Structure 1
Amino acid sequence: MLLELVLLLITLAIAYALFINRVRGLPPGPPPLPLLGNTLALGDPIDQVMLRWSKQYGPVFTAWLPAPTVVIADYKSLQESVVKQGDLFGDRSVPSVQMKMLVDGEYGLVFNGNYMWKEQRRFALHSLKDVGFLSESLQESVKSYSQHIVSDWKKDGADGKEIDVTHNIMYGVANLIWLLAFGRTVQFGDPKLKVVKDEVNKLFVAFVHPCVPFLEYFPYIGILDPLFGYPIRNMKEVSDSCMDIVRKELDITEKALNYDEDPRCYADSFFIEMRRREEKGEPMGNFTRDQLAVAALDMWTAGFETTVTTLRFAIHHLMSRPEIQRKMQKEIDQQIGQRQISMEDQKALPYCMAAILEIQRLANIVEMNFYRETNQDTVIGGFRIPAKTAILPQFPSVHVDPKNFERPDYFCPERHINDAGEFMKDPRIMPFSLGKRQCLGEGLARMELFIFLTTFVQHCSFSSPTLIPPEIKLIRGITRSPELYTVKITARF
């Protein structure tokens, strides 16, 4: 009897795996296990896993993560759906249980529903523009920090000393975000920024623990938290730590705010809007301190971690490929000389622009994009998809697809240079996502990457401390980043 029961359960599991997508009317995909779905297959780099599935099941397929998710994994399908029909795919598939546990609700600029997201994104864009986002003064700040960093490196790297570049890059990028979010900067070396960075890194790693996705569908999995080493408790503790830091910064900003003057930063604008509504007796709506705190944290995590990580990948690549570094330096020497590089110099530096784009493609910092949700019935890749279906616009897999890029694991800026020697922007490379949920801070990130990296290469040469450059070892979380490494830095002038 027991054997018959086991055989029956196995038969049912196989039938479930083979036919559940067809029964649900979903595109084909890898056979899911009951309850677990396809989550056990995500141990490898997720961009590569999704690419393999797309080759096997087609560019639009279903993966159970652990709930059914329609994955769009090629450029053409992404353009036809998420870009051209952006309004249908603007809704976020919100991890409500996680957000309630971590920040007591669906707050912020990333993980919130469409109506709130539209309102808060629009407000953030207007307020940031009002305080000088992408202005000439902000560009001057980027230039100043880039000069500060190379000056420190020239001193610290004297006599062949090995350097971890993370520290100085972190303070340069962090101060720009701190200025826009809180209206002030932090001294280089202030331990506060490192604490925030370390806590955010822990949070990113905690988010991708295998237990975490199941919270949305099996909230009582928290009871089993001790069996898995307390990942859920740890995630909550790290989130609380990050929020405490942000709230203290907001308190400092509010105390220094003069409501009769123009806002200095995003937080000022938010506080002013809160007071305006209160004085006029208007509903506060989404303009609450909780929303402000989570939005400020979203700005920090999105605007800081990705840029710092991209620059760390960049220096490792240049250290490992000195011939590319020399080509960048030659172009800068011929076109710019020793003067300070500005955004206006992008057209004069096509090879440097190509190198930056190739670094972004190859680094592929986000292995898996954030989920979205259809807000009405639609058709994707010939499949009818019902409303409220989770959608994964998997642009990271486009970056590593041999169909798009010959030898995609090979670092080759020349693939972005045409026969006339001009830089060609490749629309298939989408490091800032795409569609309605495209990154809010894309303009700042592009400014930072261009000015910082070209200034670094203009002033310094980066070389490996060993005969054979060390392999990049990755830390995987919501983003992936290189483990700590050291480099030798030689001043060029």
Structure 2
Amino acid sequence: MILELIIAGIVFIVAYGYLINRTRGLPPGPPPLPLLGNALSLGEPMDHTFLKWSKQYGPVFTVWMPGPVVVIADHQTLQDTIVKQGDLFGDRALPINQLKMLADGPYGLVFCGNDVWKEQRRFALHSLKDIGFLSASLQESAKTYAQQIVADWKKEGKEGRNVDVTENIMYGVANLIWQLTFGRTLGFKDPLFNKVEEIIHRMFELFVHPCVSFLDVFPLIAYLDPLFGYPIRRMCATSKESLEILQKELELTEKTLDVDEEPRCYADSYLIEMKRREAKGEPLGSFTRHQLNLAALDLWSAGFETTVTTLRFAVHFLMSNPDAQRKMQKEIDEEIGQRQISMEDQKALPYCMAAIHEIQRVGNIGEINFFRETTGEITIAGHKIPIGTAILPQFPSVHVDPEHFERPDYFCPERHINEAGEFVKDPRVTPFSFGKRACLGEGLARMELFIFLTTFVQHCTFSPTSMIPPKLECTRGLTRSPVHYKVKVTARF
């Protein structure tokens, strides 16, 4: 009897894995297990896992995470769907149970409810533009912070100390985001930045913990939290801690707010809009203080973590590829000299631009994109996808596809230089996503990466602390980030 039950169970699991997609009318994919889906097969790095499955099942396939998600992992198919038919993919597939537990619901700018997303995103874009999102003054701030960073590194290098580049990069990027969000700057090495950075990093790691991820499909898993080391409790505590810090900062901003003056920052613009609606007796709608708090958290965490991580990857790649570093320095020496570098210098520095493009491709800090949801029925690569289906536009897997990039793990800026020596932006490299849900802060991030990295290379040479460069090891959460490492920094002048 027991043997018969075991055989029946195996038959059921196998039949379930191979028939579930067909019965649901979904594209084929790796056979899922009951309840667990494909969770046990999601190896790391995930961009390579999805690439492997795309070669096996086709450019459009289904993965259960643990609910069904239709993955698009082909560049042309992504262009034909997410870009050209963007209105059908504008909604976000929201992890409702996680958001209720962590933020009392879908708020902010990344995971806000789809019914209010357009209003909040439109407002954010306009307000950031009005406060000088890409203004000359903000660029000057970036230059100042870049100079402070290299001055510190030169001092440490002169003293014979090896340098962990993370902390100073963090201070520079953090001050720019703080200025845009809250309208004030802190001291260059204010300890608050270290605290917030630690909280955000912890949050990114916990958010993808299996116990937290399964909340949306199996809410009762919360009762098993103690068995897994309390990841759900720790995630809630971390979220609360971050919101309390930002709430205090917003209170400081409001104390110095002058509604008759031009807004200094995003928080100013938001508070002025709330007061305008109140004065006219208009409903506040989605403009609430809780929404402002979560939006500030999204601006901070997304704009801070991704840029810092990309610059940390950049230093490691240049340390490990001295020829590329020398080519960047030669180009800067010949075209710029020792004066400060500005955004207007981009055309004069094609190799530097190519190096940044390649850093973003190889670094691939987002191994997996955010889920979207179809707002109408659509046919993708011959598969009829019903309305309300979760979609994963898996552009990170394109970055590591050998059909697009020869030896994709090899760092080679020359990929993006044409025969005339000009930088050519590759449309297959999409670190900021694309379509309706593309990154809100792409312009700021591009400015920071260019100003900071070219200033670093202009002033310093990065080399290993031993004969062999340290192996690039990464931690994984919502983003992939290099494990802390040290370099030898030598001043160039």
Distance (whole Å) between structure 2 residues aligned to residue 53 and residue 242 of structure 1: 37
One-letter identity of the residue aligned with 1:181: T
Distance (whole Å) between structure 2 residues aligned to residue 186 and residue 329 of structure 1: 32
Aligned equivalent of 2:208: 208
Aligned equivalent of 2:364: 364
Deviations 1:73-106 (A, max 9, x none): 0100100000000000010001111111001111
- 1:12 deviates by 1.1
Aligned equivalent of 1:261: 261
Match runs of 1:85-484 below 5 Å: 85-484=85-484
Deviations 1:191-225 (A, max 9, x none): 10010000000000001111222101110100001
One-letter identity of the residue aligned with 1:197: E
Which shows bigger deviation, 208-217 or 463-472? 208-217
Q: Does 1:62 align with 2:65?
A: no
Judging changes above 3 Å, is the alpha-carbon distance between structure 1 residues 230 and 43 closer, same or farther for their aligned structure 2 residues? Answer: farther
Deviations 1:338-385 (A, max 9, x none): 111111111111100000000000000001000000001111111100
- 1:113 deviates by 2.7
Aligned equivalent of 2:30: 30
- 1:43 deviates by 3.1
Distance (whole Å) between structure 1 residues aligned to residue 487 and residue 9 of structure 2: 56
SS at match of 1:431: coil
- 1:334 deviates by 0.5
Distance (whole Å) between structure 2 residues aligned to residue 11 and residue 316 of structure 1: 50
Checking the alignment, whether the CA contact within 8 Å between 1:207 and 1:235 is kept in structure 2 is: yes
One-letter identity of the residue aligned with 2:185: T
- 1:176 deviates by 0.5
SS at match of 2:181: helix
Alignment length (residue pairs): 493
CA RMSD of aligned residues (A): 0.8
SS at match of 2:42: helix
Deviations 1:468-492 (A, max 9, x none): 0100110100001011111111111
- 1:145 deviates by 1.0
Unaligned runs of 5+ in 1: none
- 1:151 deviates by 1.2
- 1:159 deviates by 3.4
Deviations 1:417-441 (A, max 9, x none): 1111111100000000111000000
Checking the alignment, whether the CA contact within 8 Å between 2:107 and 2:113 is kept in structure 1 is: no
SS at match of 2:159: helix
Distance (whole Å) between structure 1 residues aligned to residue 188 and residue 344 of structure 2: 28
Aligned equivalent of 1:5: 5
Checking the alignment, whether the CA contact within 8 Å between 2:75 and 2:395 is kept in structure 1 is: yes
Structure 1 consecutive aligned stretches of length 4 or more whose deviation exceeds 4 Å: none
One-letter identity of the residue aligned with 1:457: V
One-letter identity of the residue aligned with 1:252: L
- 1:250 deviates by 0.4
Distance (whole Å) between structure 1 residues aligned to residue 22 and residue 42 of structure 2: 23
Distance (whole Å) between structure 2 residues aligned to residue 282 and residue 420 of structure 1: 58
Checking the alignment, whether the CA contact within 8 Å between 1:62 and 1:68 is kept in structure 2 is: yes
Distance (whole Å) between structure 2 residues aligned to residue 111 and residue 8 of structure 1: 42
- 1:231 deviates by 0.9
Aligned equivalent of 2:78: 78
One-letter identity of the residue aligned with 2:53: W
- 1:260 deviates by 1.7
Distance (whole Å) between structure 2 residues aligned to residue 479 and residue 416 of structure 1: 25
Checking the alignment, whether the CA contact within 8 Å between 2:362 and 2:409 is kept in structure 1 is: yes
Distance (whole Å) between structure 1 residues aligned to residue 345 and residue 260 of structure 2: 39
Distance (whole Å) between structure 2 residues aligned to residue 349 and residue 262 of structure 1: 36
Distance (whole Å) between structure 2 residues aligned to residue 464 and residue 206 of structure 1: 32
Distance (whole Å) between structure 2 residues aligned to residue 312 and residue 186 of structure 1: 22
- 1:255 deviates by 0.7
Checking the alignment, whether the CA contact within 8 Å between 1:88 and 1:375 is kept in structure 2 is: yes
Distance (whole Å) between structure 2 residues aligned to residue 109 and residue 128 of structure 1: 13
Distance (whole Å) between structure 2 residues aligned to residue 193 and residue 20 of structure 1: 48
* Percent identical residues: 69
- 1:56 deviates by 0.2
- 1:114 deviates by 2.4
SS at match of 1:71: strand
Checking the alignment, whether the CA contact within 8 Å between 1:225 and 1:231 is kept in structure 2 is: yes
Distance (whole Å) between structure 1 residues aligned to residue 7 and residue 235 of structure 2: 39
- 1:280 deviates by 1.3
SS at match of 1:162: coil
- 1:160 deviates by 2.6
Checking the alignment, whether the CA contact within 8 Å between 1:374 and 1:388 is kept in structure 2 is: yes
Deviations 1:12-55 (A, max 9, x none): 11111011101111000000000000011123210010000000
Which shows bigger deviation, 1-10 or 354-363? 1-10
Distance (whole Å) between structure 1 residues aligned to residue 113 and residue 195 of structure 2: 30
SS at match of 1:287: coil
